Structure 1
């Protein structure tokens, strides 16, 4: 991280190129040598309209580049989708084999165990004992005689009701429950195989890609993966119940067994019915099966015919009401009959077919599905090729889908690496791809017609959080970023950080890395400076002072870039820009002369939350005077043309301004204290002497 708080990373991907595969590249911008700029009137220049920005962005990439990106994304999603379906299919095949073996073993045990739930009428010992008991009951003893006074009848042989032992009840409950679970797993596995078959989408055409993405979204939304995971758990539970049943001995038939088995079977069939009916009413539900399709077909025919009959009846009633113009009741309810006629005669669409319903949903969510194709290609592969290709297809998406792309990226990154480490991984690997993508995203937001609304602000903030500055960049990146961020800083005045990042972008890309300005980039920076200077409000305290000094840096940056000869300007553009610069230096002079220091420390208090920050204010004030005004003026005076624009009076005003600051806040704290995060006290006097020497063209001491 550099001294100004921006990230620095080695170059890993040029912004003028978006790597696609191997040695093949797709150009993001081919702006090696621009023709000489046209000469607009500097006094009438304004930011481009949303229509102009849209036209510019639509011409940024060729149809071939867009088609190539879409094709690669489609193939990546197809590969991932087919692999997912194939893996689930293999799991279901394995599960069915295990469920079949498990059910066969359980059946063999249950065939023997259910006998314990009923008495055995074939037991010979039991039959003999019953006969002896009946005969003994038929004798009476009257000494000295034994008489048979009662003959055994079949009713006398009736035994007490049979009661199954508790062990038999538990044994059969466990084993029959295990059999139900095993059968349920096999049945649901068959359903999943049907869903997967219905979910297969061949081809790589745009229509097939959208249908595949629609199916893929349905798999995720309706948690088919969860169902696939639950099925092995059912088999595991069946195995546990079977092993538990082996610990129980000899059970007999009991209604508890039937009740438990009935409840479990009822639950299984409840889920089966639910899985079958849900796709009938929800087209994106992935629980599709032939049974669902058949139910939908019957429902479709019934609904269309019933609605047609109702409309026919309404039509007859309406025609009848029109014949009775004088009837009081008809006149009283004329409005109701009129609505009845509108219902009867209006054109209505019949319930679509099973496949037609999907196409209607795809048409309705065309933009979401198109966006999801490109973001899914990145999230399923984590290949930066798809991230860097997103700007190519932004112009093909509806405007509201562009910020959603970045929200998808954010969700993927948070799930992959965690919230607090969001940009770190990309910073370590690549400092250009994500900032480039974010820059194009903000550019597309500036082309929207709802700029300034809460929705627009929320969307553009979602994109802006992905922007950062890497150590290396390109000429195209510098031009695009400076224009976009300066424009954004003007459109979103409530978000101060945008202006700070725009100022740092100009400083990093043009002052440090030496890229060349065009008239458009200078005009954007000029407009941002004017808006910021006009927004100066002493009540903003330290934050207003900070932003205004940074705006002065932008002014000096524009003048210095114009005088350097490296900017791509025509002579008339150069003269107009310098004339404006002289005028604005006078404005800066007046601002410094009227600056009141008292109370500006309030911003420091808000920033640090510590009362001693009042004493730290001289450190902070001197820091911005040196970095934003004094040092840039010294650099500007290093050339004869720049020296001619800086007067000794301006230098005297700066010296007087600093003296006033020292009088307003005479106490200073030790620079080593932790909350003194920036200080120019150790160098401001030296830099003022150097500025005075340069302006007077004195030799160095």
Structure 2
């Protein structure tokens, strides 16, 4: 049979025969129809799954053993990091206490001698008495036989001057006593930290122990215990510097100034320790826990519960008494009813010291579970924990899935910086994080609050983690296609999703060779139909771009069907191909009806209508080549593909570009540096290539949609 006969016979093939013919040419076998028998459905009436169906599918994605394995690994990683953190702090405090003890002993020895400079010398009183005796003796004159007093000394002459400590003594003792205070305060603070560490210790590897450990870890981070651990060494260093400065001043003595300064330092230290002791009484997540805090809480709990019990008892008596005075009480019935509600309401007594923690853990159960998983990654930076996160997403509350990605982003930005993050991820791993994000999007689609503010925030957070690298897996391609197509339909305001869905089909499937399934093609088909139905010419360039990308999706589905590369059976291929043949005239009608005048509006962010007019032909030709012409060339180049592309469609594409050239200038000023896409020298060549490939054999029109 001649080549022409072959082409002629292919033009009269049914859709199923076109598929089979293309497969034989491409050498790619279809999968057995029996394997996909349960997935067959009416392609034209297919719709996205409901949130309940998505949740059911996600819950069956991973086995319980897989989930338990992830939980165990995360718990072990957090426990190791947590124990190392507390051990390091404890070791630092032990070392500091030894140094603080030696420093305090040395300072005490010096201060014992220096404080005497602030007191009058006891020998001064003896000297004053001797001076008085000497003065009295000097007041007598011996004239034999008489002893005459020549003058009388007065007490005023012999009064001692008030004692005043030398300035040097004041400064000396101020510095040394301050140094002693710093040393003692550092030792006390180290003791407090050791108590907090003792309270924060959590053993075991069970899920309950992991939640308690995570609760303690969150408290250590929230209350900046790590920052306080740094304070004692700084205080000891400061004490050393002050002590050395005091050595330069040898004559300082006790004085009110010294007492005031030292008192202020002691008062400050006392206030701090009092505050950190009292805060845990009222805030259960505070990590400044100590035996003193426990004792205060016990007293507060007992007092508060007893006071409430007495008040409720009094209110009960008053309320019962009010029932006997119905006539007078009716006027004030509302007030007494409120009193009765308080008296007979559930008794909300304060829980115990440990019970309060358990109540908080129960209240934040989902957030703590999420933090266990993300902490396993943030404390180790091992991507295996990111890869395993989707396994336990279904165990988390729906809103916590988005928070997982927020935690990941905060860690990555702190570790590597925001602007360097994409380059690092693309070089290291182009699958793990995008796959995790695709799972996250699926869980977003299963939420019942779609469209709410929190849902949109979580959606945008997850999308910051989705990107396409130079490699992929079949799972990533399928999940990304399903998730992005579905979400692009759910949230049409966030057009970035639609662009990513289009780019995913182009990069992962066309360029990197991922294989479609019936479900992924159905998702792409649904996205195409939504975009075509939403076509609004009044939106100008945005509508032109969106519909052009929708045309790419249509041609992509047809090419994926007849290529023999997709994992679909022949009946499914026949169904998809019949739908594609029905939609090609719709694309042709859109091209024929394009009103080019005014479409330039919105194609550039640069202000000024002239700039947009000059650049529009370049940008429009880029979208026509990328989304319409090149896909048509690829389709016509495939075995059986030319039979699907009519002569009328090719002529319509050529006429559409001719109309655009008539509506807008065909050249721009050389100084127009804002023209980022110059396809005017390329589109004519691509149109000629399309015409050449399409005319390789006589065209007899598109094949009729027949079923085997």
Change (3 A) 1:605 1:145: farther
Post-superposition offset of 1:338: 1.4
Q: Which residue of 2 aligns with 1:220?
A: 221
Partner of 1:93: 94
Distance apart, 1:144 and its partner CA? 13
Tell me which moved more, 423-432 or 685-694.
685-694
After superposition, residues 291-310 of structure 1 pair within 5 angstroms as: 291-310=292-311
Q: Which moved more, 1:306-315 or 1:658-667?
A: 658-667
CA offset digits 1:585-641 (Å, max 9, x no partner): 111111111101112222233268795453232222222222211121122123454
Q: Shift of the alpha carbon at 1:156?
A: 7.5
Contact 1:605 1:611 in 2 (8 A): no
Deviations 1:107-129 (A, max 9, x none): 11111111111112136872564
Residue 262 of structure 2 corresponds to 261
Partners of 1:110 and 1:609 lie apart in 2 by 80
Residue 484 (structure 1) aligns with: 483
CA distance in 2: counterparts of 1:397 and 1:135, whole angstroms? 100
The answer to whether structure 1 residue 680 and structure 2 residue 679 are counterparts is: yes
Equivalence for 1:430: 429
Tell me the SS of whatever aligns to 2:148.
strand
CA distance in 2: counterparts of 1:352 and 1:137, whole angstroms: 86
Check the 8 A contact 2:601/2:609 in 1, yes or no: no
Query: How far 1:60 moved relative to its partner?
Result: 0.7
Question: Any residues of structure 2 matched to 1:609-620 within 5 Å, and which?
Answer: 611-620=610-619
Deviates more, 1:630-639 or 1:474-483: 630-639
Q: CA deviation at 1:158?
A: 4.0
Match for residue 530 of structure 1?
529
Distance 1:139 1:598 in 2: 132
Confirm or deny that 1:587 pairs with 2:586.
Answer: yes
In the TM superposition, what whole-angstrom CA distance separates every residue of 1:639-688 from its partner, at most 9, and x where no partner exists?
A: 45432221111111111111111111133137896533223322322322
Distance between the aligned counterparts of 1:126 and 1:240, measured in 2? Answer: 40
For the 8 Å contact 1:36–1:568, the answer to whether it is kept is: no
Contact 1:671 / 1:679 at 8 angstroms: preserved in 2? no
Please say if 1:367 is aligned against 2:366: yes
Q: Could you list the per-position Cα deviations for residues 245-281 of structure 1 after superposition, in whole angstroms to 9, with x for gaps in the alignment?
A: 1111223331111111111111111011111101111
Bigger mean CA offset, 134-143 vs 542-551: 134-143
Counterpart-to-counterpart distance in 1, 2:116 and 2:369: 63
1:198 corresponds to 2:203: no
Structure 2 residue aligned with 1:159? 160
- What secondary structure sits across from 2:160 in the alignment? coil
Task: Give, in angstroms, the shift of residue 440 of structure 1.
Answer: 0.5
Q: CA offset at residue 137 of structure 1?
A: 8.0
Give the secondary-structure state (helix, strand or coil) at the position aligned to 1:603: coil
Which secondary structure does the structure 2 equivalent of 1:147 belong to? strand
Asked if the contact 2:128/2:160 (under 8 Å) is kept, the reply is no
Equivalent position of 2:170 in the other structure:
169
CA offsets, 1:441-473, max 9 Å, x none? 111101111112222111111101110112221
Partners of 2:275 and 2:39 in 1: CA distance: 68
Alignment of 1:107-118 (within 5 A): 107-118=108-119
Which position in structure 2 is the counterpart of 1:104? 105
Query: Contact between 1:137 and 1:152, CA under 8 Å: does it hold in 2?
Result: no
2: distance between equivalents of 1:671 and 1:573? 52
Q: Is the 8 A contact 2:36 2:569 kept in 1?
A: no
RMSD value, Cα: 2.4
CA change 1:259–1:682 in 2 (3 A) is: same
**1:380 is aligned to 2:386:** no
Say which structure, 1 or 2, has more relative contact order (CA 8 Å, 6+ apart).
Answer: 2
1:80 and 2:81 aligned: yes
Q: Distance in 2 between matches of 1:146 and 1:247?
A: 57
Give the match for residue 444 of structure 1.
443
What is residue 460 of structure 1 aligned with on the other side?
459
Q: 437-446 or 610-619: which moved more?
A: 610-619
The secondary structure found in structure 1 opposite 2:681 is coil
**Other-structure match for 1:208:** 209
Distance 2:481 2:60 in 1: 20
Contact 1:167 1:250 in 2 (8 A): yes
Range moving further from structure 2, 307-316 or 150-159: 150-159
Query: Does the C-alpha gap of structure 1 residues 139 and 539 become closer, same or farther in structure 2, counting only changes over 3 Å?
Result: farther
Q: Please, which moves more after superposition, 119-128 or 572-581?
A: 119-128
User: What secondary structure does 1:697 align onto?
Assistant: coil
Using the TM superposition, give the Cα deviation of residue 574 of structure 1 relative to its aligned residue in structure 2, in angstroms. Answer: 2.6
Indicate the SS of the match to 1:350.
coil
Match of 2:275 in 1: 274
CA distance in 2, matches of 1:431, 1:618: 35
Contact 1:598 1:664 in 2 (8 A): yes
Render the CA deviation track for 1:544-574: whole Å, top value 9, x for unaligned.
Answer: 2222111101000111112223333344433
* Deviation digits for residues 368-422 of structure 1 (CA, Å, limit 9, x no counterpart): 1111111111111111111111111111110000111111111111111111112
Listed as ranges, the matches of 1:7-156 within 5 Å are 35-122=36-123, 126-127=127-128, 129-132=130-133, 134-135=135-136, 147-148=148-149
Q: Is the Cα contact below 8 Å between 1:556 and 1:632 reproduced in 2?
A: yes
d(CA) in 2 for partners of 1:530, 1:136: 127
| 2:524 paired with 1:520 | no
* Structure 2 match to 1:404: 403
Distance 1:139-1:279 versus aligned 2 partners, 3 A rule: farther
How far apart are the structure 1 equivalents of 2:595 and 2:145? 141
Q: Which residue of 1 aligns with 2:350?
A: 351
For residue 292 of structure 1, give the secondary structure of its aligned residue in structure 2. helix
Is 1:248 paired with 2:249?
Answer: yes
Comparing 180-189 with 126-135, which one deviates more in the overlay? 126-135
Q: CA deviation at 1:512?
A: 2.2
The CA distance in 2 between the partners of 1:438 and 1:83, in whole Å, is 31
- Structure 2 gap ranges (5+): 1-33, 699-708
